[in-house]
A = this chain, B = another copy of it.
Amino acid sequence: MTGSAIPNIADARQGVLYLVPTPLDFACPSPVALSAVLPERTMAIAARLSFWICENAKSARAFLNRVSNEHPLAKPLREQSMAELPRAVHKKGDHLPGQFDARPLLGPALNGQDVGLISEAGMPAVADPGSSVVAAAHALGLRVIPLVGPVSPLLALAASGLNGQNFAFQGYLPQEANALEGRIRTLEQHSHRSGQTQLFIETPFRNQLLWGAMVRTLQPSTRLAYARSLTLDDADCRCSTVANWRKNGGGPVNGTPAVFAFGP
């Protein structure tokens, strides 16, 4: 996919691939106002696109329906083209080369149509599927423009007060108890050696399990943070030493999306 020559100037007759971020309130009972989390320009561009590549067509339409309250859509929802990433991408991801060739999905862009890439929540291709589509766009010489919106790992990093000059996002940690503890210890050692903040996520119903493992496993002096319900009214971002968490309790409740971080 990356073997072709690089067109040095994007062909003006080709469409642009826009990366369209969405709110972080997916599956949350009280949605945020779009204007709380998306710049005017992000909404205006979303409203004028009618070709989409998405994680899930139903959620993409629900998002566009919300956008339509702020900006009239260029085309009615039922006439918009929605190409869903295949099931295999949802399950196994598409973030490594050769996993999925997304070039066929970008046909409309080769024909001059701008295309939007969109995921369930936040920035497509960051902690979410979509990078295969961006890679395919580069291979085809399309222009790629990321739009501004919420990116949960980065909001969580800023709100943690941990090192923001050197950080790594690790995705999900292993679920099995021994493997999880081992991984936490390895990441902590690396973090103390390098100063690098470690960020990761967990499915909402496993928040407390992961939290408990970290509070038990990490060194007392390590700073441990969580950020839950980011951008929502009940947003809750905390950071303290593991020693303090052990003494005072606390931590994220189950059932709300959260990002976790630790560092020296």
Contact = CB atoms under 8 A, between A and B. Distances in A.
A209 interface: no
Copies of this chain, tallied across the complex: 2
Interface in A159-174: 159-171
Interface string A150-161: 110111111111
A248 B8 contact: yes
Contacts of A238: 6, 138
A230 interface: yes
A97 interface: yes
A125 B245 contact: no
A164 B37 contact: no
How many chain A residues sit at the interface, stated as a range, is 35 or more
Contacts of A151: 151, 154
A12 interface: no
Interface of A: 2-6, 8, 19, 33, 35-41, 93, 95-97, 123-128, 130-138, 143-146, 148-151, 153-171, 195-196, 223, 225, 227, 230-231, 235, 237-241, 244-245, 247-250, 264
